[in-house]
Structure formats: structure tokens, C-alpha cells
Amino acid sequence: MRSAAEIQTLFEPLLPGLLGVQFTEVTNERVVATMRVRPELCTTGEILHGGSIMAFADTLGAVGTSLNLPAGTGTTTIESSTKFLAAASVGTTVTGECTAFHRGRTTMVWQTLVRSETGKLCAVVTQTQLVLVR
């Protein structure tokens, strides 16, 4: 199983690196990461863009799935649903905590709670990952 540091390195040249996703806990059961709300991740009004939130969460769910994959399989997100509940202001840091509802042979379902620096729930992202036999 990959460590948080290995996953950090793997994603550095990819979208999670561009967004500045920092993995702080990576286990089979739970993936936690933070993301600094830099101006270029925002939309108008100096708040974190909903797209940044969804990309952040999608990354966590994919990592969680990948840690639970049997040998010889891969994964792809097939569905993602997000409820946006509160804004996160520029200059703060959000935290995402991703846990599994289901880790099956064909699909896995993960939910990420994205919280503001003060602990306010900003978004709930629920996604389905398909397990692909290569």
C-alpha cells in the first residue's frame, strides 16, 4: 500500500499538484487532505470555486479506491454528486475527509466532507468508482 508521501509525489505533476492538495492521512479506510484557498482556485467574490472543491474531493475518493483495489485492477470515477453548503474564503485552508460507504468487487462508493478552517461543512461529495479489470 502506498504512503501519503508516495501519493503526494505521484500527483505532484498532475491536477492535485496544481491545486496544491496535501495528503495528511492515507489508509484503506480514510483519506484526509488539505488545500489552501489560493486566489487562482477561486471564483468571483474571493471564495473557493465549486470546481476546486469537486476536484479536491474526487482526488481523495480515487486515492481511497486505489488503496483497496485487488492486484491487476484499476479504477475510474463513474459518478460524482456534490451538495454545496457553505463558502470557503480566499486565504484559508479547507480539509477533506473521505470515507467509504462500499468497497465491492465491481464498484466502490466514497463520501468526502469538505470543511472550512473553522470546521464549517462546505460540501458533501459522494462518488462511485468502477473497478476495472485490466
Shortest distance in whole angstroms from residue 49 CB to its own copies: 4
Per rule CB under 8 A, is residue 23 in the interface with its own copies? Answer: no
Residue 51's contacts (CB-CB under 8 Å, 6 or more residues apart) are none
Q: Across the chain, how many H-helices and E-strands are there?
A: 3, 8
C-beta closer to its own copies: residue 32 or 131: 131
Helix (H, G, I), strand (E, B) or coil at 69: coil
Instruction: Rank residues 4 and 109 by Cβ distance to its own copies and give the closer one.
Output: 109
Cα 19-84-18 angle, rounded to 5 deg: 5
- Residue pair 27/5 in contact (Cβ under 8 Å)? The answer is no
Q: How far is the CB of 122 from its own copies (least distance, A)?
A: 10
Shortest Å, Cβ 133 to its own copies: 10
Residues forming contacts to its own copies in the complex (CB under 8 A) are 10, 13-19, 39-45, 49-52, 54-59, 62, 74, 76-87, 101-102, 104, 106-107, 109, 111, 121, 124, 126, 128, 130
